[in-house]
Amino acid sequence: MGRIFLTSDTHFGHDREFLYGPRGFSSIQEHDEAVIRNWNSVVQPDDTVYHLGDVMLNDNDHGMDCLKQLNGNIYIIPGNHDTKNRLELYKTLPNVKVLESNFPDTVAAGIYFKYRKYLFYMSHHPTMTSNLEKDPYLKAHLINLFGHTHQQKQFYNDIPFMFHVGMDSNNCTPVLLDDAIEIMREEMKKCIDMLDIEETLANVAEEVREGGEVCPTQSNIWTTIARRVKSLFSKT
Ligand SMILES: [Fe+2]
């Protein structure tokens, strides 16, 4: 049993500057070649890769030619661009499996997955699965690994248990699950520390006083800080 990697939104063949430009390429050909090269530079044939959707767009022959070149046992959780027809094509490759639904006229959206002491929910779309106030430890949360947003940041709205595995925030390379866990643990620590920093509280207090926007990202961390500041105010 090899190692576990995650990725999403390879978008092979998606000939649009807004896709390959922000990823640092000047053409889709350059993009697709780099994605394949990067993938195979880290993934060995006996490794497992969970691909959280949107494998390819436009020309299916080209997309399949790219998919065929990728190392590893690949498990695909469908994204919005993975049509029924494409899902059938993916399944023709011996090292590729596709998450399926047994319900009529539906597509399976995600899976629960236990690894080490952590519980994950893997899905193409970001999904709110927990709240930060619950516990300061990563293992206390249902961790969402997601794609779809094409964001440059690894976290969804700064939430330390919602990790973007997509190409855009991971140098167009699949992420090792163990590395993602370490990054999330560090971020969780930072968030918890932030809750205790008086300076942070004072800054947010200033915002509250001036009627500014307290929760710019709508993330739990800011909501929590704002709530604490308000409670401090109500005591004085
Ligand atoms: Fe998508």
Taking the model in full, what pTM does it have?
0.83
Distance 66 CA to ligand 1 centre (A): 18
pLDDT band at 168 (very low <50, low <70, confident <90, very high): very high
Where are the alpha helices (H) located in the chain, listed in sequence order?
17-20, 28-42, 60-68, 84-91, 177-196, 198-209, 220-235
DSSP string, 174-228: PEEHHHHHHHHHHHHHHHHHHHH-HHHHHHHHHHHHTT--S-TT--HHHHHHHHH
Q: What integer is the mean pLDDT of 29-56?
A: 98
Q: Which fold has domain 4-188?
A: Purple Acid Phosphatase; chain A, domain 2 (3.60.21)
Choose among 103, 102, 100: nearest CA to 111.
Answer: 100
Cα(51) to centroid(ligand 1), Å? 12
Pair type for strands 159-164 and 142-146: parallel
d(CA 136, CA 50): 27
pLDDT tens digit string along 73-86?
999 999 999 999 99
CA of 59 to the centre of ligand 1 (A): 17
pLDDT for the residue 213: 56
pLDDT at 218: 44
- CA 207 to centroid of ligand 1, rounded, Å: 35
pLDDT for res 121? 97
Which residues hold their Cβ within 5 A of ligand 1, which is an ion? 54, 79-80, 148
- Measure 216 CA to ligand 1 centroid, in angstroms: 24
